[in-house]
Structure 1
Amino acid sequence: MQYTINEGPSYAMVDVELDEGEMIQTKPGAMMTRDGSVSVQSDVGGDGGIGDSVKRAISDERTLVDNTYTATNGVGSVTLVPEHPGDVIAVNMSDRRSLRVQSGSLLGWEPLVERSTELNNLSNMFNSGELTVLGLSGQGTAFLSAFGSMVEREVTPQESLIVDEDHLVAWTPELSLNRQKDGGLKSTVLGGEGLVTEFTGQGHVWLQTRDPMLFSTGTEHQDDETSGGIGVDDFI
């Protein structure tokens, strides 16, 4: 498989080229275009598909459906796009033992990338209330998307990192997590207290520069005093 990531970091898309017989798996809605030589098969609930090499993730209903694209007649191409504006990075899992990823950030993956739901990190739900934590391992490339630009930060034993959870994309599993309540602007905008996660140890954290919760809160924003909330217009 060959790929290029174009139009980033604001409106990134992934152009994937498959040799005959090669496959790429994606979450629903990730495909923008594909060649006529590329076939697609939907795998619901984990039956069928590519043997047992992929461990199913238990999160929202959309995660239970995977699309597998296969080049069946020579070289074929597939273009993948996130469901929101932002960046995409490629992670070579062959160079890593494993990775923890917010489920909504996983855009596509090669068949030998294994996924599992992580239930032992204090909580499997983060602030959005819709995203669960996936464990990635195995071999091959996985594509992760961000709302906004993707930022990588290093955590060291001498310097911890405290992160607003709605900005989290992925992190290395060697890190220890400590969830804490946090006040501030988000409490005023969304009501109640937000949550932050403190990462300690040695490892890396990947972040998205935009907060989907703040933007979604403002989708019904009107220019009157009773609307409340923050809309996209407030940021431009």
Structure 2
Amino acid sequence: MQFQVQHSPVFSTLEITLEQDEFVVAQPNSMLTMTSGVKIAAHIGRGSSHEPTARGESEDAGVENSTAAKESQTLKNVPVPQKPPRKHSLSSGFKSLLGGESFFTAEFRAKSDDEQVVLAPESYGDIVVLEITDESGFYLTRGSYLANTGPTHIRTTYGGLKGLMSKKGLFLMHASGAGHVFCQSYGSVVHRELAADETIYVDNRFMVAFSDSVTYQLVKATESIRDSLMSGEGLINRYTGPGHVYYQTRGKPSGGFLSVLLEAFF
């Protein structure tokens, strides 16, 4: 399996070349083109092709990751399951909805060698490539998931009150296992690798993904509540390393008060 991120950073597309029986799982309605030897199957939610390890189930798992792909990259020595994911259920679909994603996912499987699928994000922006291993993991913020390859386990986790107040919603998506996860963004993507105890403040609307070794805390933008409110910044998140953070250079336009309210709760 090989992939290339093309036309970045504004009109990015993800081109994936598959050998026989290899597949990629993606958001519905993200396919731009594909060759005739690719079979499409729809699934409910995001099933995993392996049982998550104890490390993958932990909220405090460590992390390593590759940098965002601006040029061609090749997947090497990544185990690819010979059977499609089986752990699909209605609860998995509803959890995906809670995480800000679609109820269904699309699986693109190659019936022969050298088949190709090209995926395109719904927004104008870059594509972030996250490398997932058995000892690494990432949290994905609402709406950032595009696709995944390999035996990657993606589950919806409860973000609590700070998730709600930070406009990330009550739920986040956590990626663990082995393989690659591709995230869509709005605008260009900035990558920061934080050392232990190194801190960065990011406006809540701009975060795309961060290592699960990174801790985050909801704080006021300034010491004064008055200044926080009148400056338009309000509450922001403080991220503390070690680990990686990816944030976008633009925030998606608001869909109105009702849309903002629903996004905040779900």
TM range (shorter): 0.7 to 0.9
Partner of 1:149: 188
How far apart are the structure 2 equivalents of 1:30 and 1:184?
Answer: 43
Contact 1:162 1:196 in 2 (8 A): yes
Partner of 2:60: none
Deviations 1:49-87 (A, max 9, x none): 512399947142753211000011332111011110010
Partner of 1:3: 3
Show structure 2 runs of 5+ residues with no match: 49-83, 257-266
How far apart are the structure 1 equivalents of 2:193 and 2:226?
Answer: 25
Contact 1:93 1:142 in 2 (8 A): yes
CA offset at residue 9 of structure 1? Answer: 0.7
Q: Scaled by the length of structure 2, what TM-score is found?
A: 0.69
Q: Kindly, what percent of the aligned residue pairs are identical?
A: 25
CA offset at residue 43 of structure 1? Answer: 0.5
CA offset at residue 5 of structure 1? Answer: 0.5
CA offset at residue 180 of structure 1? Answer: 2.3
- Which one of the candidate residues 168, 172, 175 is aligned to 1:133? 172
Partner of 1:52: 87
Alignment root-mean-square deviation, CA:
3.2
Aligned-partner SS, 1:63: coil
Partner of 2:41: 41
Determine which structure has greater relative contact order: mean sequence separation of CA pairs < 8 Å that are 6+ residues apart, divided by chain length.
Answer: 2
Partner of 1:31: 31
Deviations 1:101-134 (A, max 9, x none): 1141111001411001121565444655668411
CA offset at residue 47 of structure 1? Answer: 7.8
Go from structure 1 to structure 2 and tell me whether the alpha carbon gap of 1:27 and 1:123 turns closer, same or farther (over 3 Å shift). farther
1:211 is matched by which residue type in structure 2?
G
Aligned-partner SS, 1:60: helix
2:192 is matched by which residue type in structure 1?
R
Alignment of 1:6-25 (within 5 A): 6-25=6-25
CA offset at residue 89 of structure 1? Answer: 2.2
Partner of 2:122: 83
Show structure 1 runs of 5+ residues with no match: 219-236
Go from structure 1 to structure 2 and tell me whether the alpha carbon gap of 1:173 and 1:129 turns closer, same or farther (over 3 Å shift). closer
2:87 is matched by which residue type in structure 1?
D
Partner of 1:226: none
Partner of 1:108: 147
Aligned-partner SS, 1:148: coil
CA offset at residue 16 of structure 1? Answer: 0.5
How far apart are the structure 1 equivalents of 2:28 and 2:240?
Answer: 34
How far apart are the structure 2 equivalents of 1:59 and 1:44?
Answer: 9
The total of aligned residue pairs comes to: 214
- Which one of the candidate residues 75, 88, 102 is aligned to 1:63? 102
Deviations 1:155-180 (A, max 9, x none): 33453111111000111111221112
Moved more, 2-11 or 176-185: 176-185
Contact 1:126 1:132 in 2 (8 A): no
**2:214 aligned with 1:179:** no
Partner of 1:223: none
Partner of 1:199: 239
Q: Scaled by the length of structure 1, what TM-score is found?
A: 0.78
- Which one of the candidate residues 248, 253, 266 is aligned to 1:208? 248
